[in-house]
Amino acid sequence: MFALPASVRVVLAVEPVDMRKSIDGLMALVRTAWGEDVYSGHLFAFVSRRGDRVKVLTWSRGGFVLLYKRLETGRFRLPPVDAGAQAVTLDATQLAMLLDGIDVAQVRRQPAWTPPGRTGT
């Protein structure tokens, strides 16, 4: 697939999105609904109403990149979302699991190790 640095945020839309939207339509959603900077280099992910399609939008060196994935069978398993939220932030690992069809809600991470004398972030 592709490797993402830890500094890159992945923002996933909570509500289904019309997959007919182009780059410009998705950009407008990111700007108006979320108030995010579309030129930040972060990834913005959108799932279709049926849950079998995902589009991921990002800015890269002078142009937009749009990744589109359609499942032939099944649906993408979305992570749990707080009531009233318009979007949820994922990390690169969660995005990879989502795109691979893994149910992120069922995955349990071990706590991150922190060196003695330091506080976790």
Tell me the per-residue pLDDT of 81-111, one tens digit each, with 9 for 90 and over: 888 888 889 888 889 888 988 887 777 778 8
Instruction: Answer yes or no: is 118 within a domain.
Output: no
- Asked if residue 42 is part of any domain, the answer here is yes
- Report how far residue 67's alpha carbon sits from residue 57's, in angstroms, rounded to the nearest whole number: 7
CA of 105: how far to CAs of 48, 67, 76, 83, 119, in Å?
Answer: 19, 23, 12, 16, 26
| Residue numbers of the domain that contains 88 | 8-104
Residue 119 domain flag: no
Cα Rg, the chain, nearest whole Å: 15
User: In total, how many domains does the chain have?
Assistant: 1
Task: State residue 110's pLDDT score.
Answer: 82
* Within-domain flag for 39: yes
Q: Is the pLDDT of residue 1 over 60?
A: no
pLDDT of residue 120: 58
User: Is 117 a domain residue?
Assistant: no
**Residue 28 lies inside a defined structural domain of this protein:** yes
Residue 2 lies in a domain: no
Sign of the torsion angle spanned by Cα atoms 101, 104, 42, 30: positive
pLDDT tens sequence across 10-58: 999 989 999 999 999 999 999 998 899 999 999 999 999 999 999 999 9
* Look-up of token digits 């922190």: 114
Residue 3 belongs to some domain of the structure: no
Q: Does the pLDDT value for residue 121 go beyond 70? A: no
